[in-house]
Amino acid sequence: MRNYILLLSLSFLFAFQIGKAQSQNQSSSIYVYESNGEAFYLVLNGVRQNYYPQSNVQISGLVADNYSVEIIFKNKYLGKIGPIACPVVDATFQYGQSIYELSLNQLGYYQMQLKQFFPGFTLMPTNHAHHVVQYHSTAYTQAPVYHSQTTTVVNGQENQTQTIQSPIPNYNGPIGCADWPIEDAQFSRALRSIQAKDFDRTKLVVAKQITRANCLTSAQVKQIARLFSFDSGRLEFAKFAYDHTYDVGNYFIVNDVFDFDKNVRELSQYIANQ
């Protein structure tokens, strides 16, 4: 019986060490989201990981067992969370993907709650169309750029070149969301979904839902705003969409959708206060 218990203990210890060793050769990711669309910075070990505030952020390439996490909201009146220690591996030190939700507690303060953990699974970074950032331990010195990497073979040797891309040709102004704007086919489906609703209030709910999950261009915001029958709906949507717009330097074109100048002034004042 003693030999059996000893063997069982050694088996557990062996599995524990194997799990930890495997995690050291792999990496984890952490996904944090705020379901109401409040934008924030995700700070790991004292370094801001997303250059622009976003309502959902995923960091990949995490090789340590846990990280010091801090949430700093774009809206300073919401306060901040942390720093707090967040594990990114399970009890056996297996890597995976941790999903955390930012939500209000009973006292009206934000808290960070682990919702799910997927062992052995982690989403790698993509060039665009997803809030994914490769973990970095040094602060940004300039805004990140989108790029594609191509590989050519010359005389049996690989040469890699990078091509800087822009979703809006010749646009060099300020950027409001770090994702690549929604593609035309997806945007057309989104427009049809909003257009299918009979009332402005319902259209607004759907439009916000779509906008919260995507990055738009100023021209796309203008197209959606035109779907509302009254200036009140156009104004509310235009305010909401500003934080989810790529080329905010072009946002003045949204003014064209309003019937009354007072709404143009109110939108301009809202943007000036951001």
Per-residue model confidence (pLDDT) at position 250: 95
Q: Under a CB-based contact definition with an 8 Å cutoff, are residues 242 and 248 in contact?
A: yes
Give the up-direction half-sphere exposure of residue 44: CA atoms within 13 A in the CB hemisphere: 27
For 16-134, CATH gives: 2.60.40
CA distance 255 to 226: 11
* pLDDT tens profile 116-145: 888 887 665 433 344 578 899 998 876 665
Q: Under a CB-based contact definition with an 8 Å cutoff, are residues 244 and 211 in contact?
A: yes
pTM above 0.85, yes or no: no
165: confidence class by pLDDT, cuts 50, 70, 90: low
CA distance 220 to 250: 11
Alpha helices (H) along the chain: 2-24, 184-195, 200-212, 218-225, 231-241, 261-272
Q: Under a CB-based contact definition with an 8 Å cutoff, are residues 248 and 176 in contact?
A: yes
Per-residue model confidence (pLDDT) at position 16: 43
Average pLDDT over residues 36-42: 85
* pLDDT tens profile 56-115: 888 888 999 999 999 999 888 898 999 999 999 988 888 988 989 999 988 889 999 999
Comparing CA positions, the residue from 149, 90, 146 lying closest to residue 122 is 90
Tell me, rounded to whole angstroms, the distance of Cα 88 from its chain centroid.
18
Per-residue model confidence (pLDDT) at position 232: 96
% residues pLDDT > 70 (the chain): 77
CA distance 2 to 159: 61
All residues at 6 or more sequence positions from 65 whose CB lies less than 8 Å from its CB, including other chains = 23, 87, 88, 89, 93
Q: Under a CB-based contact definition with an 8 Å cutoff, are residues 212 and 244 in contact?
A: yes
The residue extents of the domains of the chain are 16-134, 184-272
